Amino acid sequence: MTSKLKLILASKSKRRIQILNDLGIIPDIILPANIDETVMKGEIPSALSTRLANEKANFVYQNKTNDMKDSLILSADTVVAVGRRVIEKPISASEAYSAMKLLSGKNHKVYTCICIIDADGNYYKKLVETRVRFKNLSEEEIKHYIITNDWVDKAGGYAIQGRAQSFIIKISGSYSSVVGLPIYETINLLKGLGYDVYRN
């Protein structure tokens, strides 16, 4: 039974794929979910992360084919926030600059929710909260960072494993969750649902 379970990753994130590959887990299918990630009015960051992870997994579940019948669908969503304010993925250099100015010298939280849907359509979710503190950033540091384009397609405008790692004074929680996929929680959920995490 366990050896027959397939894993579908509902994400195009290279970072999430790499995390799984580093653990020896190779998704059988990678199927990005096409959903609207717009923040709803009054939606708090933790609720946003949970909702989007749920919607990503559900999108793939609703569109799966017969060859995906014996599968687990894994999705995740990462949200960066200062207080109740969500810092979305910047779509321009000016937005990336604003994100860095907001994060500079402050504590912020990174929420990553993972969602797994089993073959029977049951949902299993886990939300992980991590606290990160940035140092005070100079104008020179911010401007140089913007030029690198390392902020592109990154929640909060940065990747903890990228150039912005030199900005971080302290992290309290899951490093891999800030990258995009909390390893401990993901492995435990997969194992608990009968997926053989050691098969590769």
- SS3 sequence, the chain? CHHHCEEEECCCCHHHHHHHHHCCCCCCEECCCCCCCCCCCCCCHHHHHHHHHHHHHHHHHHCCCHHHCCEEEEEEEEEEEECCEEECCCCCHHHHHHHHHHHCCCEEEEEEEEEEECCCCCEEEEEEEEEEEECCCCHHHHHHHHHHCCCCCCHHHCCCCCHHHHHEEEEECCHHHHHCCCHHHHHHHHHHCCCCCCCC
State the amino acid at position 192 in one-letter form: G
**Are residues 166 and 144 in contact, defined by beta-carbon separation less than 8 angstroms?**
no
Which active-site residues does the annotation give? 77
Candidates 72, 92, 49; CA nearest to 182 is 49
**Count of Cβ atoms closer than 10 Å to residue 55 Cβ:** 17
